[in-house]
Chains A and B, each alone.
Chain A
Amino acid sequence: MAEAERRRAFEALLQTHRKIVFKVAAVYARGEEDRRDLAQEILLQVWRSFGGYDAGRPFSTWMYRVALNVGLSHARRRRERSQPLDASLIDTLGGGMPINEPDERLADLARAIESLEPLDRALILLYLDEQPHAEIAAVLGIGESNVGTRLARLKQRLRRVMTGTPPTTGERDGTR
């Protein structure tokens, strides 16, 4: 494929799926500047890896993988396991200018995601994005049958976080 053609194909696919970049950045970055840096990092990596993309497979699966892998490594580098989704940044996602008035629901969403470990954040992001179990399994590299089980446990944990119920012994020990 010629370079110009490749670029056009990339831009067309990116246009359709670019929300993935910003959602992953919102989940794994801290603060406005960090979010922008991460979004750029993801875009750059998506472009760099595009040569290896198999056009016979869904672009969204491939892009989720790249974006989440970059997001996870970014979060690890910054050691931000406890502060991923900053509610204030969500209100300024449009380049430093507020898009909308602050929303309490987004702050709650931030707090809920903040309580999760990086890999669980990937799972909840895919769930909230209403991806089918087969897609979640392909992105994360787990069995399709496991997705439902893990999601059920994760939702249970989130429900407890949101209602302020203390975790079970297993959860505290990290065995569940």
Chain B
Amino acid sequence: MELDELKAAWQILDHRVSRLEAATPARGVGGVRAELRPLVIGQAIQIVAGLAFAVGAGSFWIDHRDMPNLLVTGLLLHLYAIAMIVAAARSLFLASRVNEAAPVLELQRRVASLRAWRIREGRWFGVVGCFMWVALIVWAFALLGVDIVATRPRFVGFQLATAVVCLGVYVVVSRLARSPEGRAVHRARERLDEIARFEAG
């Protein structure tokens, strides 16, 4: 089959398509923006939660400026809360740039950069999250009036050791190609490669 024949075949398709009646009412809602809706809702919730968390952690370290253990814990939690807000805001910004009427390559690039950012962000929160719950335990005890770092240092040390193990497991699992994250990374790379191949002609 030559290209001319391909064109002729396309004309047959064109002819058949022209006979079609209008489509029946839609059964499903699709498109990139519809796909992104859960992400947008999730990120909006993350911003609200991050704000509440930042206020709580902020007032905590301000109230415990004279207790270094709790001051550091509060500051770490405060930073984590701010990172939650910033990450969600960036995801929302990237999602807002996804518009189906944009030129095809531009939209594909924007979707790919949003996915790449989501993977990087997920990894960062995965790594930091392994340790952050130790800070949360210290905070929770402090709210009950107990400075767990001062009274039970071995308990806190054990939690930190567990966090290191958790980090090791996280790193190993995320590097496995068959893990959900491994697949997501692979798909994102594939998408970027595909755009690069197309751009290279």
Which residues of A come within 8 Å of B, CB atoms?
Answer: 18-19, 21-23, 26, 36-41, 43-45, 48-49, 52-53, 62, 65-66, 68-70, 72-74, 76-77, 90, 93-95, 99-100, 103, 105-106, 108-109, 112, 117-120, 122-123, 128-129, 138-142, 146, 149-150, 153, 155, 158-159, 162, 174-176
Where the two chains meet, the residues of B that have a C-beta atom closer than 8 Å to any C-beta of A are 1-3, 5-10, 12-14, 16-33, 35, 99-108, 111, 191, 193-195, 197-201
Number of residue pairs spanning A and B whose beta carbons lie under 8 angstroms apart: 166
Check if A109 sits within 8 Å of B6, measured CB to CB: yes
The dominant DSSP class at the A interface is helix
- Known contacts A18-B22, A162-B1: does B6 contact A108 (CB below 8 Å)? yes
Of B6, B10, B29, B107, which is within 8 A of A69 by CB?
A: B107
Alpha-carbon separation in the docked complex, A45 to B28 (Å): 11
Apart from A44-B26, A49-B99, A65-B102: 14 A-B pairs, beta carbons within 8 A: A18-B22, A22-B20, A23-B14, A37-B27, A69-B101, A73-B111, A99-B16, A106-B13, A108-B5, A109-B13, A119-B198, A141-B106, A142-B105, A174-B197
Which residue of A is nearest B8, CB measured? A105
Query: Do A77 and B105 form a contact, CB below 8 Å, given A26-B13, A112-B1, A159-B2?
Result: no
The interface centre, meaning the residue of B19, B111, B198 with most chain A CB atoms within 10 A of its CB, is B198
CB-based contact B9/A109 at 8 Å: yes
Cross-chain contact A26 with B27 (CB below 8 angstroms) = no
- The CA of A155 and the CA of B63, in the complex, are separated in Å by 71
Residues of A within 8 A of B200 (CB): 175-176
Given A108-B1, A108-B6, A117-B198, the answer on whether A40 and B23 have CB atoms closer than 8 Å is yes
Q: Closest CB-CB distance, B109 to chain A, in whole Å? A: 9
Given contacts A41-B30, A162-B6, contact A49 B35 (CB under 8 A): no
A-B contact pairs, 12 of them (CB 8 A): A18-B20, A21-B23, A40-B28, A43-B26, A44-B29, A62-B101, A69-B100, A93-B19, A105-B5, A112-B1, A140-B103, A141-B104
